[in-house]
Each structure stands twice: as structure tokens, then as C-alpha cells.
């Protein structure tokens, strides 16, 4: 493949790429040099349709003019304001806008710069909350198998992906895991939330019996576990988890880094499922991916528990130099305006049915073990090659990039799609037509 000389770096070696097979990539790089709306431009000038919203984040589409202009204006007006002991108006404005979108009394926002930081922030707030209320024995954290909560030490400890954990030592003491909600035998080819599996929430009661509620601070789950293959919650599961947490005074955290900002047709999955957690972590879609930003939405009672004691004293010893960075706040406000002006969350809700229909059209192609559409996303499990788990998925990704002009995620042999919410019905057809050809080609 001929690469345009001007777009290709001289030396690919110094950059150690994250979550990437570096040596294979550097032999045959997949370089992107531009983007607009639903498309990426590769370094050889080809236009590729984006079936993954970048990395589950560019929900408003790429390089949208209002977001670009807001970032440019802010960069020329206020490059940086100290996050500790000073602030700037857009930080407060954005927190208010996010709180207004959130259900119930989730009305305070702590800002950070990524999903991983949001998760570690939420876990720390949970521990500190019990501490300030005199329940210092509540230190255990509970995650779930097949959960992804980023790459901080807290996040990998509560996360349930063996490869993300096994090289990094003992992690953190006092963490336990609920079982995954996915069972192919019981759930294969379910559209949306599967019928089977609500009872798996009761495993939390078993962990309470094992450890005692007085030692458990919080449970963290993704409402839809996206990174490990788009696993929607069984019908009734999240309600049951909420009820068990309430019974035992355990905080419930929804990690909405992917499900937030429209992916499931609502501002937050909490709204789709009618379940209000105690905290919501978010990132990605808040700025439509244009500037790094993350945050934690916190219920009023949690915030209020900290607002005690002498007023000159810092209430929570936590924060980041770039918490509520002016460029991120400007991008966030512009993204929220665009989501509202174009009705993109409602659009995702309306497109859910044609999206699922198009995805299920792949059923019957070679090696397909399961297809799981929910909201504007889908996980497609391909059978692994006998000699190498993950190889077929990677071949599909490469074929998509180099020959079929479509981008999506490959997680092992599972293909995951989550287009920008501006996708049209004909583009949905185009994405799945390309995917059908790719799946046949890697048979």
C-alpha cells in the first residue's frame, strides 16, 4: 500500500502504543490523518466509514464545527486555570449542565481527564464517604467478571479481565467480583436485554454473607459491559442489584464511560433502565472525544456528607491538575449543545431497531457464534481459529481498514461496533454490508 510521504512519520519505533500489538502494527501501520462526520481519512487518502465512534467516544461525529470552534475560542481566551483553589466559569456551567441531564439527585460532578481516572475517583469517594460517616470498616470493593473499568490500579482491581490484571502484582486487597451476566447457551442472539440472568444479581447477597455488609463500600458495574463484547444486562438484573445494595447500605456505581451521552438512546443508561445508582462515572462522549475529559456524578447525600466541619478545610484530598480543563469544558458544553440541537440521544433510540435488524442480518454467516445488539452498539462473536485466539478478529480488523474502508473494534475474536450517533440508515446498511464481506473473507 502506498502511503503519502508527507503523512507518514520517519520512525515508528519510539512510540510505545497502548493496548496494541506494537511489532505487528509497525510492520503494517494503520495511520489516520483526518476525519469528518462519519468518516476517517487514512494516510493514503482513503475515506473509511467509522463503525466505532473512534474508541466509543465521538458520539456527535468527527470534527463537528461547533465543537472545533469552541475549542479554538477557548484556547485563545483561557489556556489554563488552576484546578485547585481557583477555577473558571465554564467548569461550573458544565457541571450544572451534566447534573441537569442526570436522573434523580445525581447533582454534583467531580471532574478528571479520563475514564480510568473517573473510576479511581469514584472508588476513592466511596471509601472516603463511609469513612467520613464513621463507617471506616467499609473498605471492600466489588466489581464483576468481564468488567472493564480502565487501567488505574483501582480500575484493574475491580475489573474482570485477566490480561489486564495478571502482570501487575497483587493489585489491591479486599476486592471481590460478581459473576459475569453473559451465558451464550442461555442468551445467544438476544436483541437488547436478555431474558435470562437477573438472578445473577443475587450473587451479591452471597458476597455479603461471606464478607459481611459492614465491610463492603461499593459495587461497580457497567450497565452494558461494552469493552468485553457488548453484554447487555439481563432484564431486571440492575434493579435487583440496586435493591440488594439498598438493603445493605452498599453504594452502587454505574461505570457509564461508554454508555453515557447517548450510546443507549438516553443521556445515561441509568435512565434507560430506570435504576438510579449512587455515582455515575463518565468520559468519552462528554466532549464527543475531542478533548480528554472524565468525571463522576455523585448523589447529593454523598456530597453533603463531606460538607461538614470547619469551612477553611479541604473536604476531599483528591483532584487533578487538569480537572475541568478550560478546553475540555468548552468542548463539553459545545458537545452537549450539539446533542440537544440535533436530538442525537433520541436519534440513537429511534435507530436502535434498524440497527439491530441490520446486525442480525449477519446471522448464518460462517463462524458467527452470537450477535448482541443493544442501543447503537453490537458485539459479534466469531469462532476462534484453532491455532490462535484473536487472530480471526485481527484479520477482520485489518481487512476492514486496508480493503473494505470500514473501522470497528476487535476484542479477541469479538467485533464491536458503535457508530457516531449521526449515522444514517443507509450508512448502517453500508457498515453491515462491508462487515458481511469481511466475515466471509476471514472464514
Ligand X SMILES: Cc1ncc(COP(=O)(O)O)c(C=O)c1O
C-alpha grid cell for residue 155? 480500575
| Region of 35-43, 148-156, 160-168, 392-400 interacting with ligand X (CB under 6 A) | 148-156
Q: Per-residue x/- mask for ligand X, residues 351 to 390, rule CB under 6 A?
A: ----------------------------------------
Give the side-chain half-sphere CA count within 13 A for 166.
Answer: 3
Count CB neighbours of 257 within 10 A.
Answer: 28
In the complex with ligand X, which residue's Cβ is closer, 53 or 442?
A: 53
Q: Is 331 in the site for ligand X (CB under 6 A)?
A: no
In the complex with ligand X, which residue's Cβ is closer, 48 or 258?
A: 258
Residue pointed to by grid coordinates 445467544: 188
Restricted to residues 210-269, the positions that interact with ligand X (CB under 6 A) are 222, 226-227, 255, 257-258
Q: Per-residue x/- mask for ligand X, residues 119 to 138, rule CB under 6 A?
A: x-------------------
Q: Is 149 in the site for ligand X (CB under 6 A)?
A: yes
Measured distance between the N- and C-terminal CA atoms of the chain, rounded to whole angstroms: 24
Number of residues counted as binding ligand X (CB under 6 A): 14
In the complex with ligand X, which residue's Cβ is closer, 143 or 427?
A: 143
In the complex with ligand X, which residue's Cβ is closer, 148 or 339?
A: 148
- Report strand pairing: 39-42 vs 47-50: antiparallel
Residue pointed to by grid coordinates 502506498: 2
Euclidean distance between CA atoms 249 and 252, whole angstroms: 9
Q: Per-residue x/- mask for ligand X, residues 80 to 119, rule CB under 6 A?
A: ----------------------------------xxx--x
Length of the chain counted residue by residue: 443
- Report strand pairing: 377-382 vs 368-374: antiparallel
Partners of 106 in the β-ladder = 299
CB of 294 to ligand X, least distance (A): 6
Euclidean distance between CA atoms 397 and 408, whole angstroms: 7
C-alpha grid cell for residue 254? 454505574
CB of 298 to ligand X, least distance (A): 17
Q: Is 59 in the site for ligand X (CB under 6 A)?
A: no
Task: Tell me the residue nearest to ligand X as measured from the CB.
Answer: 115
Euclidean distance between CA atoms 77 and 395, whole angstroms: 46
**DSSP states of 286-345 as a string?**
GGTTSS--EEEEEEHHHHHHHS-S-TTS-S-----TTTT-HHHHHHHHHHHHHHHHTTHH
CB of 152 to ligand X, least distance (A): 8
In the complex with ligand X, which residue's Cβ is closer, 150 or 233?
A: 150
In the complex with ligand X, which residue's Cβ is closer, 266 or 432?
A: 266
At residue 240's C-alpha, the angle toward residues 239 and 242, to 5°, is 65
Restricted to residues 290-309, the positions that interact with ligand X (CB under 6 A) are none
In the complex with ligand X, which residue's Cβ is closer, 102 or 258?
A: 258
Positions in the binding site for ligand X (CB under 6 A): 114-116, 119, 148-150, 222, 226-227, 255, 257-258, 283
Amino acid at each position: 500500500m502506498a502511503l503519502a510521504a508527507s503523512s507518514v512519520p520517519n520512525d515508528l519505533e519510539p512510540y510505545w502504543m497502548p493496548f496494541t500489538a506494537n511489532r505487528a502494527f509497525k510492520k503494517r501501520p494503520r495511520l489516520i490523518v483526518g476525519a469528518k462526520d462519519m468518516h476517517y481519512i487514512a494516510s493514503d487518502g482513503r475515506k473509511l466509514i467509522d463503525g466505532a465512534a473512534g474508541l466509543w467516544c465521538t458520539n456527535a461525529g468527527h470534527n463537528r464545527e461547533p465543537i472545533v470552534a469552541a475549542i479554538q475560542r477557548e484556547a485563545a481566551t483561557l489556556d489554563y486555570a488552576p484546578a485547585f483553589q481557583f477555577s473558571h466559569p465554564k467548569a461550573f456551567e458544565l457541571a450544572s449542565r451534566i447534573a441537569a441531564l442526570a436522573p434523580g439527585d445525581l447533582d454534583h460532578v467531580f471532574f478528571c481527564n479520563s475514564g480510568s481516572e473517573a473510576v479511581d475517583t469514584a472508588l476513592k469517594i466511596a471509601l472516603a464517604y463511609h469513612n467520613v460517616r464513621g463507617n471506616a470498616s467499609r473498605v471492600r470493593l466489588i466489581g464483576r467478571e468481564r468488567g472493564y473499568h480502565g487501567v488505574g490500579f483501582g480500575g484493574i482491581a475491580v475489573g474482570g479481565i485477566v490480561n489486564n490484571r495478571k502482570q501487575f502484582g497483587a493489585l489491591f486487597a479486599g476486592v471481590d467480583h460478581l459473576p459475569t451476566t453473559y451465558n451464550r447457551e442461555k442468551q445467544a442472539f438476544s436483541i437488547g436485554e436478555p431474558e435470562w440472568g437477573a438472578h445473577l444479581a443475587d450473587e451479591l447477597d452471597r458476597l455479603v454473607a461471606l464478607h459481611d455488609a459492614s465491610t463492603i463500600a461499593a459495587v461497580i458495574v457497567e450497565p452494558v459491559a461494552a469493552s468485553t463484547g457488548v453484554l447487555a444486562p439481563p432484564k431486571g438484573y440492575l434493579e435487583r442489584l440496586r435493591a440488594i445494595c439498598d438493603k445493605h447500605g452498599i453504594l452502587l456505581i454505574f461505570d457509564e464511560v461508554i454508555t453515557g451521552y447517548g450510546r443507549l438512546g438516553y443521556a445515561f443508561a441509568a435512565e434507560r433502565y430506570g435504576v438510579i445508582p449512587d455515582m455515575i462515572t463518565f468520559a468519552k462522549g462528554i466532549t464527543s472525544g475531542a478533548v480528554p475529559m472524565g468525571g463522576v456524578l455523585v448523589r447529593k447525600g454523598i456530597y453533603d456528607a463531606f460538607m461538614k466541619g470547619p469551612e477553611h478545610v479541604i473536604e476531599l484530598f483528591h483532584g487533578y491538575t487538569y480537572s475541568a480543563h478550560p478546553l475540555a469544558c468548552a468542548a463539553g458544553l459545545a458537545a452537549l449543545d450539539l446533542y440537544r440541537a440535533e436530538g442525537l440521544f433520541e436519534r440513537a433510540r429511534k435507530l436502535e431497531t434498524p440497527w439491530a435488524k441490520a446486525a442480525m442480518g449477519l446471522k448464518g454467516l460462517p463462524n458467527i457464534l452470537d450477535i448482541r445488539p443493544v442501543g447503537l452498539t453490537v458485539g459479534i462473536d466469531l469462532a476462534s481459529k484453532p491455532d490462535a485466539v484473536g487472530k480471526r478478529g485481527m484479520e477482520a480488523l485489518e481487512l476492514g481498514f486496508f480493503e473494505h474502508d470500514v473501522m470497528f473494534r476487535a476484542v479477541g475474536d469479538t467485533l464491536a461496533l458503535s457508530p457516531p450517533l449521526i449515522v444514517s440508515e443507509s450508512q448502517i446498511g453500508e457498515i453491515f454490508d462491508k462487515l458481511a464481506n469481511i466475515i466471509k473473507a476471514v472464514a
